[in-house]
Structure 1
Amino acid sequence: MLLTVADLAIDLPTPGGPRRVVHDVSFTLDGGDSLGVVGESGSGKTMTALALMGLLPEGATVSGALRFEGVDLARLGEAQMQKLRGDRIGMVFQEPMTALNPLHRVGRQVAEPLILHRGMSKRAAWAEAVKLLVRVRLRDPERVARAYPFALSGGERQRAMIAMALSCSPKLLIADEPTTALDVTVQARILDLLATLGAQSDMAMLLVSHDLAVVARHCRRVLVMYGGTVMESGPAEAVLRDARHPYTRALLEARPRAGAARGERLRAIAGAAVPAGAEPRGCPFAGRCPMTMDACHATPLPTIELAGDRRVRCLRVDAEGRPT
């Protein structure tokens, strides 16, 4: 198994003491596999991804196991993590304008992992960087390579960052909303490219996204997170076709519908998302959930194992996955 995450928990420092923002997250990823992580903002998706890269905020503490190629990432020092980042593990960050260095040309930044991890000369690495910019569908890769990030559009910056993440052919690619700044056509092409590279090089992909359609098309399995907790998991096609958790169903019902009448309002999830680090005694979705009962506010969530390698954490779902 390429990656095994077991009982991952993340605590962040606050003036009132440590607050847990991710609770007991577990999953596995093998070479060539793909996992989508979905949920509202503040659900713990990005924190989970950053924990794998060793890039959590200062003062954060991690418990549980993060085993990549047999090595527990949570136990590695910064120097050891630097050898993995950009080489064996690549990451596409959500906001390219803050992830790219404004003081260096884009080509230099795409080439840097090749120089550091592959020992290429600057000339050879620059040439390879231009080829990578071609692969991510940039129309004028030479111009982009010579440009500084501020001179590029949001879509060009995003594609340049994807090129940088892919430069050393990582075994694991973590993509945090990788196509946010791209139009629909380019988005589909980039995601198809990532899927093709994964199949060709046995690269695993962890895709963080708000877009359920993207996850359904490009991921074999899915984790649905809310309040730092995995509420439902399993094969993406099965979970998104026949959701068992009330939160997963609410996300699906809130999507825009094809053929909807002009001006028709989207269906919203009632209430406000639970604040990060709230640490409720029971289900974090209690109160917003239409199936809420008194026990939901105070009873720890059970994990229900369903057929087809599916799991649901809910007091209102029975052993067969039916609502009670």
Structure 2
Amino acid sequence: MWVRSTLNVLPVVAAALSGGWGALAIWYQFPGETASRWIASIVWAAFVVALIVTAWVRRTGLPIGVYALCFMMLLAWWSTIAPSNHRDWADDVARSMTGDIDGSRVTLHNVRDFNWRSETDYDIRWETRQYDLDRLSGVDVILSSWGMPGIVHALMSFGFDDGSRVVLSVEVRRQRDKDFSSIGGFFKHFERTIVAADESDVIRLRTNVRGETDHLYHLQMSKQAMRALFVSYIREANELTVKPAFYNTATSNCVSIVYDMAKQIDPKLPYDYRLLLTAYLPSYLYQVGALDKRYPLAVLTAQGDITMRARATKPGDDFSRAIRTPPEPGL
């Protein structure tokens, strides 16, 4: 009796869950303006509810069979939605970073160096820069929180022994008329890009303009590993210019992509839920030995809070030095 009831309920539950996914997929991808997307999404949801109610009331599987056929048609349409490099992009992701590697010499094209006064008021600067991988001296991860529970954005800052730094970040490539949405990231709403930028651009944008909270952690990595990770970013960026890809909040986000790169360096690197719930990434890094274990994680986190240091900077300040200089005792 219990088994029979469960078998009757499971198709209904599956239809309800997949129907909800379909409503969101239509909302984010149906062509046209907001009104048409609302209408299409509501019609689909009403259709699914009607079939589920009919199946439940009449105790027949025919409506579920009809739904299954319609859902397969929805998936067929979904599979035709392809990523593109040719859209009306927002200014800060309008250009794609690419890199040329010649031995230890790397040339990065489209390095971003914007001067942000607000999210809508900024000076646009794109540059070509050269780096020597033999002079890599350290890698820091910056975790930026904008208030989403359990989620932060991760940026990798590569430092060189001449004092220069460049941040590489896997980011959402937004169209000019779209705002960021974590839910939209599950529904092919954004393409993926890799941004190369100055710290005074990409970090300051988050702390000083968007009001986010940032923590910096220095990673314990060999020069060989640092070099391999840097090159992995370049290869991924170059591949995206010829083979665009969607950003996915769960499977291809700012941390999961870095993990895939790091796995090429250390195949034994364990996968962990903290690569999805990125706010808990510091404990993962501490556990695998990527942070300095001479100090408790709580101390590293407190020392790594660069938010107020960043906000205290003024135009013309050495931003990278300022965020790494702790305040004097008593201040």
Coarse TM-score class (shorter-chain normalised):
under 0.3
Higher helix share: 2
Q: Normalising to structure 2: TM-score of the pair?
A: 0.23
TM-score, normalised relative to structure 1 = 0.23
Q: Which structure has the larger Rg?
A: 2
